[in-house]
């Protein structure tokens, strides 16, 4: 397929939108990519080949879907906007190995999706240009569902991508960085200017690559308690760890018990959440989890 005919050009995108009288829905965060080289770069960073299958979220008029179809063994795309189905049927007509599911990805029955579409045991990767307003819920759902996904490569808001891939001692680092990096190795692969979208969003985007970990990087007594403690540590970013944790756990732990925890683990309570490594959070969570069990 020559580049002129690719969906992801300003000319072809306009033609398709005019042909179907399609209007963008702001509530669905619809911004279509109009630069085919960027799409090919995304697929390159995702490491897609004919030995793999791909899941896409929000295919729009099929710009990324088309490039995925050229690279992958099979593509399954979730599209919530029913108005796009006839357009996708038209634009993706040459590719019989593409399936479109008209459903909200957050409501998908993944067990059923796997049985119906991914019986061939090939590695499955997620590749998507995600709507900004729902990026975090989608990624957390995919990661926590414990699916046999090898990696996730997504175009998202630049600022969110930087937060997800951030290291400790940076202003971007927070509970979201830790949640994402508990399940994956996260890296920002490229920055994408707002000018390559139609309509143009207000901010630049970035391509974030998440390589699924086989095992978490830290040992935890209780996952839910760990994430609760991490979130509490960043509740008020400018406050110390001591202040945030004392406030959050006041029903179950006394001030002296919290002090004892800091002493036991060897962490200074005057530090702020952004200075702690994931291992330090894990040590604190494991210690306090044992204490709360004893106090309950």
- Give me the DSSP letters along 108-170: --HHHHHHHH-TT---EEEEEE--GGGHHHHHHHHHHTT--EEEEEEEEEHHHHHHHHPPTTS
Pick from 206, 203, 200: nearest CA to 31: 200
| Helix pair angle (255-265, 241-248), 10° resolution | 130
The Cα 127–Cα 155 span in angstroms is 8
pLDDT value at residue 8: 93
Cβ–Cβ < 8 Å for 249, 287: no
Residue 286 assigned as binding residue: no
Residue 31 assigned as binding residue: yes
The Cα 257–Cα 293 span in angstroms is 13
CATH 3.40.50.150 spans which residues of the chain?
3-212
Residue 266 region, left (φ>0) first, then alpha (ψ -120 to 50), else beta?
A: left
Longest dimension (CA), the chain: 69
The Cα 229–Cα 14 span in angstroms is 49
Residue 243 assigned as binding residue: no
pLDDT value at residue 120: 79
pLDDT value at residue 77: 98
Pick from 214, 164, 172, 170: nearest CA to 189: 164
The Cα 133–Cα 197 span in angstroms is 16
Residue 28 assigned as binding residue: no
Residue 33 assigned as binding residue: yes
Topology, domain 223-295: Helicase, Ruva Protein; domain 3 (1.10.8)
Local confidence pLDDT in tens for the 296 residues of the chain: 444 489 999 999 999 999 999 887 776 768 899 999 999 999 999 999 999 999 999 999 999 999 999 999 999 999 999 999 999 999 999 999 999 999 999 999 998 999 999 987 789 999 999 988 889 999 999 999 888 999 999 999 999 999 999 999 999 999 999 999 999 999 999 999 999 999 888 899 999 999 999 999 999 999 999 999 999 999 998 899 999 999 999 999 999 999 999 999 999 999 999 999 999 999 999 999 999 886 65
Residue 139 assigned as binding residue: no
Q: What is the value of pTM for the model shown?
A: 0.93
Topology, domain 3-212: Rossmann fold (3.40.50)
The Cα 13–Cα 199 span in angstroms is 11
CATH 1.10.8.100 spans which residues of the chain?
223-295
Q: How big is the CA angle at 212 (ends 208 and 217), to the nearest 5 degrees? A: 110
- The predicted-structure confidence for 191-233, as pLDDT tens digits, reads as follows 999 999 998 888 999 999 999 999 999 999 999 999 999 999 9
The Cα 244–Cα 234 span in angstroms is 7
Burial (CB < 10 A; 0-12, 13-18, 19+), residue 248, is middle
pLDDT value at residue 3: 41
pLDDT value at residue 152: 98
The Cα 69–Cα 7 span in angstroms is 13
Take residue 239 and report the two structure tokens written for it: 């406050």
- The predicted-structure confidence for 11-31, as pLDDT tens digits, reads as follows 999 999 999 998 877 767 688
């Amino acid at each position: 397929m020559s580049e002129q005919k690719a969906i992801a050009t300003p000319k072809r995108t306009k033609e398709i939108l005019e042909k179907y009288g399609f209007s963008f829905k702001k509530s669905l965060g619809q911004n279509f990519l109009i630069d085919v080289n960027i799409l090919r770069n995304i697929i390159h960073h995702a490491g897609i080949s004919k030995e793999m299958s791909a899941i896409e979220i929000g295919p729009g008029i099929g710009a990324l879907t088309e490039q995925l179809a050229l690279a992958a063994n099979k593509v399954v795309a979730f599209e919530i906007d029913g108005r796009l189905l006839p357009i996708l049927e038209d634009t993706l007509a040459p590719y019989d190995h593409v399936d479109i599911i008209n459903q909200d990805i957050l409501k998908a029955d993944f067990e059923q999706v796997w049985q119906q579409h991914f019986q061939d045991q090939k590695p499955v990767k997620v590749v998507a240009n995600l709507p900004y307003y729902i990026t975090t819920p989608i990624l957390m759902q995919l990661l926590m569902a414990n699916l046999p996904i090898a990696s996730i490569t997504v175009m998202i808001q630049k600022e969110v991508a930087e937060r997800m891939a951030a290291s400790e001692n940076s202003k971007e680092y927070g509970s979201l960085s830790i949640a994402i990096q508990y399940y994956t190795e996260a890296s920002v692969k490229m920055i994408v200017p707002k000018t390559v979208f139609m309509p143009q969003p207000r901010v630049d985007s970035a391509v974030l690559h998440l390589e699924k970990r086989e095992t978490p990087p830290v040992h935890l007594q209780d996952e839910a308690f760990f994430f609760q403690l991490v979130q509490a540590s960043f509740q008020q970013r400018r406050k110390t760890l001591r202040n945030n944790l004392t406030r959050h756990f006041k029903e179950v732990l006394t001030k002296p018990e919290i002090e004892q925890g800091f002493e036991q683990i060897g962490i200074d309570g005057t530090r702020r959440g952004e200075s702690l490594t994931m291992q330090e959070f894990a040590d604190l969570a494991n210690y306090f989890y044992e204490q709360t069990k004893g106090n309950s």
